[in-house]
Structure 1
Amino acid sequence: MGAFLSLFMAAAFRPRLYFAADPAFIGVRKVPNSKQIENASLSDLVTAQCPTLLKQFRPAWWLTGGHLQTFWSAIGDFTKVDKVEYERTLLRTVDGGTLGLDFTGPPNSELLAETTPVIVVLHGLTGGSHESYVRAILAPACTTVDRGGLGYRAVVVNFRGCAGVPLTSPRLYSGGTTDDIRTALMYISSLYPNAPLLGIGFSLGANVLTRYLAEEGERSRLNAGCVLASPWDFVANIEALDSTLFRRVVYSRTLGQNLVTLANRHVDALAKFPDSPMTAALPAVRSMNRPLLTEFDQAMTRLCGGPSPPFPFPSARDYYVWASSHNLLPKIRVPLLAINAADDPLVPRLPVDTDRYTLSPWVVFSVTAEGGHLGWFEKDNSSRFGVKRWITKPVLEWMQLMGEVAVDTRRMIPLRQADGFTKEEGRDDIGYLQVEGGGHVVGVEDQDGLLAGL
């Protein structure tokens, strides 16, 4: 009976893995750095190279359940762990906006091989490179191999107005807008033309990354992607978020207030654009006190969360329908690992919860029983009540598989100079120009007034 119970419990805590009926075959090296190539199915590669996805995740006993896991991600003190420092580059976009790219890597990164993989990060709703969930991946990924790390480079793409990035155009970011990550990847690929680029997105950034991969298909500048706690179906998950008093008060209003706080930081900058929809919406937003997420999106995001078209949208719901990524999964054409927790209070509806879901042959979808929203905290055996993020290990296994074992088959898209900007051949609406500013960024410094971890 005891043995049976142990087996049952182990199975209950083991992530559920979903593949397409016919997983894609990927070219891989028989041994590291070898020119001998063979094809292997994505499902076989995950089984062999990502063993943590096949093992149980047991949350720390004092952080069981999705709410506690999520709370700890938001209020825990992570300033003493996973320290990462960055050098920031500012890019001006064609529409006058500014992106903040935070670069990091092992000591003496300039001596790394030109084929060293680069991890490209998209953060959550109002986050940035300082977030603990970002650093939990990048600290070991950018640690040297002799110290147990991967020895990779990394770049965090901070959205417009986030993490100290100046707002220089009357436009926000959104969960569905992909032009900024497309622009950032143009710049990153020009710096590292021979390096595999590996994307990872968290929460809202996960949705953006999924949409980018689906829109680009075989033209993706990313070799592979990994998305954690993506909101997928915005309509279904926003409705679930507003369905109970607890979720509305604790989660929806917290997310809404974070966005109000972020908007308030840019009042002076928006004064330069008196006729813009964003500036017109600002007085109503500034008067809000802990609004629901839907209330903020109705007042501002639907109007100025991206370029026109498709913005502005008639309503927040119209924006949610457009921004969702669950229905784009069949269009993915590079390897993508998606991980969600079944008890995530912010994302209770997943694409694989229904028999109608369809996955691309390039997608691996993993669902853990517990973990909350960007939590996945397990006991750290090196201390009595310490915790560590379980998610770090499977993500690093996936990154190593895609960065070192899988063969780079991307087609390089030529760039050109036009009107002072670097642009892609065949496109004139996006491009970048490096501008002054940036500098050294200490990753453990939080943004005052914003609740982290979401």
Structure 2
Amino acid sequence: MARTLFNADFTPPRWLKHRHLQTLAPYLLMRGTPRHETELLDLPDGDFLELAWTVPAPSDARAPILVVLHEEEGSIRRSPCAQALLSMAARRGWRGVLMHFRGCGKVPSRHPRGHHAGDTADAYWFMSMLGKRYPHAPKVAVGLSVGGNVLLKLVAEQGGDGLDLSGAIAVSAPLDLASRSDALNIGHARGHQRRLLKRMRRKIEAKQALDRFPLGITQQQLERLDTLWAFDNEITAPLYGFSSATDFYRRASAGPLLDRIELPTLILHAEDDPFVPADIFMRLPLPSANVRIELAKHGGHLGFIEQHKGLPRSWMVRRIAAQLDAWSRLPELKMARHSL
């Protein structure tokens, strides 16, 4: 682990060290939806992906592209970290695009199928399309929280040549979904769990109203699913072909696949992430030499708010911007391991 695990240079303000405050801080301090235009991209199964492209777009089709995969139940309007990353990319002359997971955008998905924390099929299809549309543009993907789990699993599955990506970055990825489910049911993290479940229930209710939900579950039964594990056991698992929540967590987690990653990959994580056990990396296989993990003592879940000249700012965005700048200086963004 010593060859891949490094101390992150993140220092929170003294008044913002608590992990739950860090987790909530971006929603209070970083709001600002970037200018964007929406594209509905049809999928082979008749559904679609809702994309948010930053505008104005670079005129050069060879301009580098930053792909952002948002957190669970996030969107271009609800995800301050995704908003900040897209704005940062646009300032650097990159083409920025957020891929909404099915059902997370403004337009309801057509099929009962939505997305889950280990579902890589849509992201793979989108990356393939992006390669055809912009064949000469270097591409980097950033995954936030569950989006990070999806990205790392996709990168591990496809190998070094299976994706038109020059690099991948994951932030606060819940690499072991079973331990994430447990962590969200402890202490103050239960508040995050309640908010997440509320949004998930609303989506099911909306699909039921349109007669687009195949599982026979009543409103009363839905309300009784008061933990993420219960929801995944009764809804996610049968909807996506898993035998149970335990089976889903085992097969959908990216952590056990870190040793298979061939693409240059940066993982940013905080020891005090309330959604993930502090010793998560001790529970997982030794990552491949292509993976660099930067671990901060503080930062919460997708927090990483620091102070600069008396004002709060995102260390996460600053760190990712520095990585993009470093990678963009290399010819064609063909990155060597030493660039991480």
Partner of 1:390: 315
Are the structure 2 counterparts of residues 245 and 351 from structure 1 closer, same or farther at C-alpha, using a change threshold of 3 Å?
closer
State the alpha-carbon separation in 1 of the partners of residues 94 and 179 from structure 2. 37
State the alpha-carbon separation in 2 of the partners of residues 253 and 295 from structure 1. 12
Are the structure 2 counterparts of residues 245 and 399 from structure 1 closer, same or farther at C-alpha, using a change threshold of 3 Å?
same
Are the structure 2 counterparts of residues 185 and 350 from structure 1 closer, same or farther at C-alpha, using a change threshold of 3 Å?
farther
Are the structure 2 counterparts of residues 95 and 61 from structure 1 closer, same or farther at C-alpha, using a change threshold of 3 Å?
same
- Partner residue of 1:220 out of 158, 163, 170: 163
- Point out where structure 2 has 5 or more consecutive residues left out of the alignment: 336-340
State the alpha-carbon separation in 2 of the partners of residues 325 and 104 from structure 1. 29
State the alpha-carbon separation in 1 of the partners of residues 231 and 133 from structure 2. 37
Partner of 1:119: 66
Q: How far off is 1:235 after superposition?
A: 1.6
Map 1:174-323 onto structure 2 (within 5 A): 174-218=116-160, 219-242=162-185, 244-247=186-189, 249-269=190-210, 271=211, 273=212, 278-284=213-219, 287-288=222-223, 291-304=226-239, 311-323=240-252
Does 2:10 match 1:67?
Answer: no
Partner of 1:376: 304
Are the structure 2 counterparts of residues 320 and 349 from structure 1 closer, same or farther at C-alpha, using a change threshold of 3 Å?
farther
Q: Secondary structure at the match of 1:160?
A: coil
User: Does structure 1 retain, via aligned residues, the 8 Å contact 2:270–2:296?
Assistant: yes
Q: How far off is 1:54 after superposition?
A: 7.0
State the alpha-carbon separation in 1 of the partners of residues 321 and 178 from structure 2. 31
Are the structure 2 counterparts of residues 338 and 62 from structure 1 closer, same or farther at C-alpha, using a change threshold of 3 Å?
same
Q: How far off is 1:401 after superposition?
A: 2.4
Deviation digits for residues 417-436 of structure 1 (CA, Å, limit 9, x no counterpart): xxxxxxxxxxxxxxxxxxxx
Q: How far off is 1:267 after superposition?
A: 3.2
User: Does structure 2 retain, via aligned residues, the 8 Å contact 1:91–1:99?
Assistant: yes
User: Does structure 1 retain, via aligned residues, the 8 Å contact 2:7–2:295?
Assistant: no
User: Does structure 1 retain, via aligned residues, the 8 Å contact 2:30–2:84?
Assistant: no
Q: How far off is 1:70 after superposition?
A: 1.1
State the alpha-carbon separation in 2 of the partners of residues 98 and 170 from structure 1. 12
Q: Secondary structure at the match of 1:266?
A: helix
Deviation digits for residues 3-57 of structure 1 (CA, Å, limit 9, x no counterpart): xxxxxxxxxxxxxx95359xxxxxxxxxxxxxxxxxxxxxxxxxxxxxxx87732
One-letter amino acid matched to 2:152: T
Bigger mean CA deviation after superposition, 117-126 or 212-221: 212-221
Partner of 1:366: 294
User: Does structure 1 retain, via aligned residues, the 8 Å contact 2:127–2:163?
Assistant: no
Partner of 1:91: 41
State the alpha-carbon separation in 2 of the partners of residues 296 and 136 from structure 1. 31
TM-score for the superposition, normalised by structure 2: 0.89
State the alpha-carbon separation in 2 of the partners of residues 224 and 350 from structure 1. 26
**Identity within the alignment, %:** 27
Are the structure 2 counterparts of residues 332 and 377 from structure 1 closer, same or farther at C-alpha, using a change threshold of 3 Å?
same
Output the aligned Cα RMSD: 2.4
Q: How far off is 1:284 after superposition?
A: 4.8
Q: Secondary structure at the match of 1:391?
A: helix
User: Does structure 2 retain, via aligned residues, the 8 Å contact 1:235–1:317?
Assistant: yes
One-letter amino acid matched to 2:268: I
Paired positions, count: 333
State the alpha-carbon separation in 2 of the partners of residues 208 and 59 from structure 1. 28
Partner of 1:164: 106
Map 1:23-172 onto structure 2 (within 5 A): 56-74=9-27, 76=28, 78-79=30-31, 81=32, 83-105=33-55, 107=56, 109-112=57-60, 114-130=61-77, 131-143=79-91, 150-172=92-114
User: Larger relative CO (CA 8 A, sep 6+): 1 or 2?
Assistant: 1
Partner of 1:422: none
